[in-house]
Each structure stands twice: as C-alpha cells, then as structure tokens.
Structure 1
Amino acid sequence: MNILVLGSGGREHTFAYQLAKSERCKNIFVAPGNAGTAAIATNVALSVTDFSAIEKCVVENHINMVIVGPEDPLVQGITDYFAETPSLKKVQIIGPSKRGALLEGSKERAKEFMMAHNIPTAAYASFTKASLEAGKQFLETLSPPYVLKADGLAAGKGVLIIEDISEAKMELEAMLSGKFGDASTTVVIEEFLDGIELSVFVLTDGKNYKVLPTAKDYKRIGEGDKGLNTGGMGAISPVPFADDVLMQKIEERIVKPTVNGLKKEKIDYKGFVFIGIIKVGEEPYVIEYNVRMGDPETEVVLPRIKTDFVDLMEATYEQNLDIMPLEIDERSAATIMLVSGGYPEAYDKGKKITGVENVSDSIVFHAGTKLEGNDVVTNGGRVIAVTSLDADYKNAIKKSYQNCEKITFDRMYYRTDIGFDL
C-alpha cells in the first residue's frame, strides 16, 4: 500500500514512524514533511491546502491512502474534495468532512453541538461586532477569570483568559475589531472552569469508535506552566489521574454522545477526535474539540499503539472499527519538546542541529527541521520531540531529559519540569 501523510510536524513524523512498522506499507510519502520524515519516507514539496497539487501527487504516485495531519485542509474541505473528484474516489482518506471539521473550525458550532447532545461543557454565549454591548453585559454576569475564544482557527492563539473585567471588555472589542482577523468576527465568551486538563483521543469510523491512550500536554513556554501559550512543550501518556472511574464517566457522558451526535446529524466522520477535557472536582467537562491528533500528544499516544497502524486506518475508512482489536503498550511515554530561542514569539531559523545520532533508548521525532545539504537545521519554533517509554512514567521522563542533553543547536530551549506536577 502507498500512503501519503499531509503535514510537516512532529505529529506527521510520528504517523510515518508508525506506518513504517507495518509490512503492509510499501511506500510512504509526506507532504511537505521535514528532515525526520525524509529519513523514512519520500518528502513531497507541496502545500497541505493545495488540493489540486495533492490530487496530482496521489494519482502520479498511485497513493491508496491519505492521512491528514493538520486541521487547515480538513476545515477547508479536503475530504469532500476527494469524494467529489473522480480520480480520487477510490482513495482512502482519513479525516472528517468539512461539516465534521467545523467542530474545530468554529468554537460556536462546537458549543452548539455539545448543547444539542447534552455533553457537559462550560456555560457560554456568542457575540459579533453588532452585539458588542451585549457581550460586555454578559461579562458582567460572570466571575473572573473571563474566557474569550475566537470562533475560527487562530493558530492556537485565539483563546484569552483575563482576570480584570475592564481588560476583558477591551479585549472583546479588539477581537471583534479584527485582532485575530476573520477568526474573531464571532467571539465565544465562556465561564471559567477551574480544574486539571487532559486530552482524550478517539478514533471513529462514523459508527464505531476506539478510545486511544490519554495524554496531558504542557502549553506554556515557562517552568511551572507560566508565560505565553505555545503549540505544546511536552506531554505524558497515560495521564496518572485518569483512573477507571473518570474514564468511564468520560466515555459514557462525552465520547458516546459525541459519536452518536455525529451519527444523528449524518456527519461523515472517519478519523480522529481530540477531546480537550477539564476535570473539575471529580467531574469531566469538554473544553474543546479538535478534529485531528494533537501535537506533541501524538508523539506519546501513537508509540503506545501496538496494533498495525495501516490495519487501524483501513478499518476506520471501511467502518470496521468494531471488529478491529486495539492493543496498547502498558508502558508510559513522555516527550520533551526542544524549541528555538525566542519561541513562541520571534525566532531564527537555519541553526545547525547536532547530537541526534547520540540519542539512545528514546525516539527522536522531528518537527520544525529541514535538510540543508548534509546538515539538519532548524525550520520552526518547535524543533524536535524526544520520546521515551518506561513502566514508570517518571523514568520515561528521566530518559527523555537525559537524551535532550545530547542534542544541541544555537539558543535551544526546553522546559525541565514536564510531568513534575502529576
């Protein structure tokens, strides 16, 4: 089988890594890929939202399956494009339809879906520029901190949590006036839920589902979870506090109603559902949906899946997930993200990376890297994820940190407290 993975980050390198383990996988292509994927697959220089270029690549390389990594092509309707294009109709594509992708593409739509299917979430209301004054009045009814979310995709930067009511009103006005471009023409204001977060990943074929390993990621740039939000500085799987009682509540109150809701609304959905959950006391609530795997959670979730990854993806497409066994490695996984100095704000690219060949007993997943001649250089804010497995999650963390010390590039930075709060 020839398989194309769309994307260029650590998530996509992890997909390629899992596919490479399968005897069924003949050729792997990654578009556009990175220096890590180049070592185990063929990189193809094209944009993930250039559907006609993707079509050409699929046809020319006799691709049988496409796994979509990032959210942008899903929100823009790549799955629908495949369904409507004669040359692509027989190609298995893993990712929801445009309607399904709205669960991530629109915060307002996600909230409406949760309310319609009795899925526990924070109270909310949505506002546009025309209803700015009503939005300010709604803020007055809430207690601090105040949560403001841009409705559309804002590259992970569209959520503000503000302590001061005056500042919250100013930010609401700024958002509705284009602070996040078209993404914030509608703003969702939510009540703040105080608790501890975890990520639950579900693979669904639109009828059946499998709950994948849980993970906890760390978004803040600074130690002690302080500073600016990032795409993720590290992750742990499974989550130590996600015991059987909590997971049963999550499956009964959140996972099942989500999959049943997709069925009831006749939404074509074959792919991953990332459910961001907050545990308030002993009760789980949904913070958000994503319609793809998270990053860096993918780097700790997928290495724990022992089932042949091609079989798993094919069962998803063919709607046979109910008869597909899911075998999970009982060991814990921990990943640490090495980032460019200055990230998540301005940072330099093109810094030579050395020492990766010295890593032992860990897996190195490339994110923002590229080949420059014979050198691997930085090409993004989040550069490399170092993942380790061990029976004890603390030992997995320790292994990853030991191997992080073997890798160097100019102004390299990583948090040294990932998993210490668990």
Structure 2
Amino acid sequence: MNILLLGSGGREHALAWKMAQSERLTQLFIAPGNAGTALVGTNVNINPNDFEAIKTFVMDKNINLIVVGPEEPLVRGIKDFVLNDQQIAHVPVIGPGKEGAQLEGSKEFAKAFMMRHNIPTAAYLSVTQSNLDEGIAFLKTLKAPYVLKADGLAAGKGVLILDDLAEAEAELKEMLSGKFGDASSTVVIEEFLSGIELSVFVLTDGHGYVVLPEAKDYKRIGEGDTGLNTGGMGAVSPVPFADETFMKKVHERIVLPTVEGLKKDNIPYKGFVFIGLMSVEGEPFVIEYNVRMGDPETEVVVPRIKSDLVELFEAVAAGELRKKTIEVDERSATTVMCVSGGYPGSYEKGKVISGLDAITEGLVFHAGTAQKDGEVVTAGGRVIALTAYGTNKDEALKQSFKNAQTINYEGKYFRSDIGFDL
C-alpha cells in the first residue's frame, strides 16, 4: 500500500523508520519530512496544514492511508476534510476528527471530558474575562505553586507554573488579554499535583485498543530539570516505577474510561491517545491528553514495538483492532536529543552535521535537519535524537550519550542527565 505521513520531526522519522520495515508497504511519502525521513521514504514539499495540496497528492499517487504526525492538522480538521470530500473519502486517516482532537486542542474540553467520565485529574476552573473575579477567588483557595494553562494550542508555551499568588493573578490577567493570542482567551486554572510524570500511549479504532510501551520524557533545557521548557530533551522506556500494579490502575481508571468515554460521547476516534500522567504517591492522575504520539517519546516507544505498525494501522482503519495484540521488545530504549545552541530561545540554522556515519550501535532519528549541497545541516531547535537499546536504562543511556558525543555541529548541546530521577 502507498502511505502518506504528515510531519517533519523526530517523531515522524521514527514512525517512517518503523513503517518502512513492513511488507505491507509499497511506497512511503513524508510531507514535508527531513534529512532522516529521506533515508526511509520520499520527502514531499507539502505543508501538513495545506489540505488542498494533500488532496491533490493523495489522488496523484494513489495513496491508501494517511498517517498524521503532529497535532495542528488534526485540530484544524484534516480528518473531516478527507471524509467530506467524495474524491478521497475512501482513504483512511490515522488520527481523530476535529471533535476528538479537542482533547488536545482545548484544555477546557479535556478537563470537562475527564470530569464527565470520572477520570482522575486535578481540580480546575475555566476562566474568561467574564468570570475573572471568580478565577482570582479560585486561585486564593489553592496552595502554591499555581498552574495556568492557555485553553488552545500555544506551541507548547501556554502552561505557566508560578510560586507567587500576586504573580499568578497578574499572569492570568495578561493571558486573558492576549498574551498567547486566541489560545489564551480562555485559561484553565489548575490545582498543582506533586509527583513524577510519565506518558502512556494508546492506539484505538474507537472500540478496541492496544496500549503501547510507556515512556518518560524530560522537558527542561537544563540538567536536573532546570531552566526553560523545551519540546523534549530525551526520553526513557520502560519507566521503572510503572510496575504491574501501577499500570493496572492506569488501565482501569484511565485508559478504559477514556476509550469508553469517547464512545459514550459519540466521538468517533481512530488514532493515538497520548495520556500525560502524574504518579502522586503511586496513584495515577491525568495531566493532559494529546491526540498524537509524543516527541521525543516516539523515538523510544516505536523502537520497542515488535509488531508490524502498518498492520496495526490497517486494523484501526478497518475497525478490527480488537483482533490484534501488540508484541513489545523487553529491552530498555533511551533517547538523547541534541539541540541547537541558544534553543529554546533564538538559534541559528544551517550548521553542517558530522559524525552521522560513525554511529554503528543505536538509532539516529532526525528532528530538525535538512539536506543542503549534499550535506546534512541543522534546520530546527531540536536537531537529532539518538536512541539506543540496553538490558536496562543505564546500559541504553551509556550508548545514547556516547552517540551524542559522536555527532558534531557548531553549537551542539545535549543533557547528560536524562533518566537521572529514575
């Protein structure tokens, strides 16, 4: 079959790498892709949000399946666009429609969904300009730190955690006045949960589902989880504290009620549900939902999946996922992200990357790279994810760090303490 994968990051390279191994695959196209995806498929210069261009390509290349990597096309309604167009409506899309994508596209929608289906999460209040006084009163009932979340997509920057009440009040007013544009015209104030985070990934066709390996990623730029938030500096799978007892709670209290809740609410859903969790003294709480795979978690989750990913996607499209089981590699996988100097602030692009051919043990997933004059150059803040296997996380990390040392480009930086808190 011919598959079109939308996206250009490390997540997409990992998905493309895995799909390329399937005997079910004829041709794989990635739009727009990066220098790494070009090694396992054909890059196409199409913006994932340009639905008309996607339609033309799907028809020209006789595409049989569309896999959506990032959240933006899903929130904008790529699935609905395809379903409502008679010429391409027969082509299945892996990813939810616009309504289901609200689980990520609107924090308020997600919190209301959790409350409705008794899924454990932090106490919250949705605030707009019209109930600002109520919002400030709610802040005063909470203990520091205070969590403010822009309701809409804010490119990963719309969550503030503040220690000072006066500062939280000031930031709330600023957000409602347009600090994050329309994304913060509604702000969700949330009770702060103290614990350790992890992510659980589910692939569902709206009825059956499979649970993929769990992972933990590291968002802060600095060692010891300090400094600014990033898109993710590395990840580890499996997560040592997510033992059988903990995962049973996750399954019964969160995964099952989420899939059943979508069904009860009549929200058709064929795709990934990424559940961001907090373990609070061994009890799981949902921090957030995403409607696609995480990045860099995909770079450790996908390498641990032994099953044919294309076959799983076909089962999702056919509504027959309940007939499938998933086989998982028992080894640990870790990834370390090399980023551009200055990231997550301003950084330069176009730096020549060397050392890629010298990596013989482990996997190299390109995130922000491009081809220029026959060389691979940096083209983003997060540049390359270096994934390795090991009998345990320490063994895998040792190889990931070694590979991160081997890669070179001007301004390279990586965190040398991924997994430090486990």
TM-score, L = length of structure 1: 0.99
Encode CA deviations 1:116-162: one digit per residue, 9 max, x unaligned: 00000000001011222221111111110000000000000000000
- 1:165-218 CA-partner distances (Å, limit 9, x unpaired): 000001001100111111000000000000000000001000011111000000
Structure 1 partner of 2:31: 31
In structure 1, what is the equivalent of residue 283 of structure 2? 283
Q: What secondary structure sits across from 2:178 in the alignment? A: coil
Distance 2:103 2:325 in 1: 27
Could you tell me how far apart the structure 2 residues matched to 1:143 and 1:273 are? 31
Equivalent residue, structure 1, for 2:139? 139
Are positions 1:247 and 2:260 aligned together? Answer: no
The answer as to 2:358 corresponding to 1:336 is no
Alpha-carbon separation, structure 1, partners of 2:379 and 2:289: 28
Query: Would you say the 8 A contact 2:224–2:420 is kept in 1?
Result: no
Q: 1:90 deviation in Å?
A: 1.5
User: Take 2:254 and 2:274, find their aligned partners in 1: how far apart are those partners?
Assistant: 12
Separation in 2, partners of 1:325, 1:289: 23
Instruction: State the partner residue of 1:401.
Output: 401
Question: Structure 1, residues 255-294: CA drift from partner, whole Å, max 9, x if none?
Answer: 0000000001111100000000000012100000000000
Are 1:45 and 2:51 an aligned pair? no
Residues in 2 aligned to 1:357 and 1:314: alpha-carbon distance in whole angstroms:
34
Stretch moving more, 34-43 or 129-138: 129-138
Question: Which runs of 5 or more residues in structure 2 are unaligned?
Answer: none
Task: Measure the CA separation in 2 of the matches of 1:105 and 1:262.
Answer: 15
After superposition, residues 189-338 of structure 1 pair within 5 angstroms as 189-338=189-338
Q: Which amino acid letter does the alignment assign opposite residue 278 of structure 1?
A: M
Alpha carbons 2:210, 2:325 under 8 Å: kept:
no
> Is 1:376 paired with 2:376?
yes
- The Cα offsets for residues 219-254 of structure 1, whole Å up to 9 and x where unpaired, read as 000000000000000000010110000000000000
Please show how residues 93-112 of structure 1 align to structure 2 within 5 Å: 93-112=93-112
Q: In the aligned structure 1, how far is the partner of 2:134 from the partner of 2:420?
A: 42
Q: Does 1:155 align with 2:160?
A: no
Q: TM-score, normalised by structure 2?
A: 0.99
Give the CA deviation at 1:38: 1.0
Tell me which residue corresponds to 2:65: 65
| Counterpart Cα distance in 2 of 1:291 and 1:325 | 21
Query: How far apart, in 1, do the equivalents of 2:330 and 2:110 lie?
Result: 33
In structure 2, what is the equivalent of residue 11 of structure 1?
11
- Once the two structures are TM-superposed, the CA of residue 391 in structure 1 deviates from its matched residue by 1.4
For structure 1, the residue ranges without an aligned partner over 5 or more in a row are none
- Structure 2 match to 1:168: 168
Which secondary structure does the structure 1 equivalent of 2:37 belong to?
helix
Other structure's SS at 1:137 match? helix
Secondary structure of the structure 1 residue equivalent to 2:179: coil
Q: Distance in 2 between matches of 1:39 and 1:281?
A: 44
- SS for the counterpart of 2:245 is helix
Identity %: 62
Cα distance in structure 1, aligned partners of 2:274 and 2:326: 18
- Give the CA deviation at 1:373: 1.5
Q: CA deviation at 1:325?
A: 2.1
- Matched residue, 1:83: 83
- Out of 360-369 and 130-139, give the one that drifted further: 130-139
| 1:13-61 residue CA offsets vs partner (Å, 9 max, x unmatched) | 0111001111111111000000001111111111111100000111111
Q: How many residues align?
A: 422
What is the CA deviation profile of residues 71-98 of structure 1, one whole-angstrom value per residue up to 9, with x for unaligned ones? 0000011111111111211112100011
Secondary structure of the residue that 1:88 maps to in structure 2? coil
| Partner in structure 2 of residue 360 of structure 1 | 360
Structure 1's consecutive aligned runs of 4 or more residues displaced over 4 angstroms after TM superposition are: none
C-alpha separation between the residues in 2 aligned to 1:24 and 1:212? 21
8 Å contact from structure 2 (residues 362, 386) kept in 1: yes
Letter in 1 for 2:110: A
Matched letter for residue 303 of structure 1: P
Q: Distance in 2 between matches of 1:298 and 1:254?
A: 21
SS of 1:35's equivalent? coil
Deviations 1:289-342 (A, max 9, x none): 000000000000001101111101111111111111211111110000000000
Give the SS at the match of 2:87.
Answer: helix
Secondary structure of the corresponding residue to residue 36 of structure 2: helix
Q: Which amino acid aligns with 1:263?
A: K
SS in 2 for 1:169: helix
Letter in 2 for 1:349: K
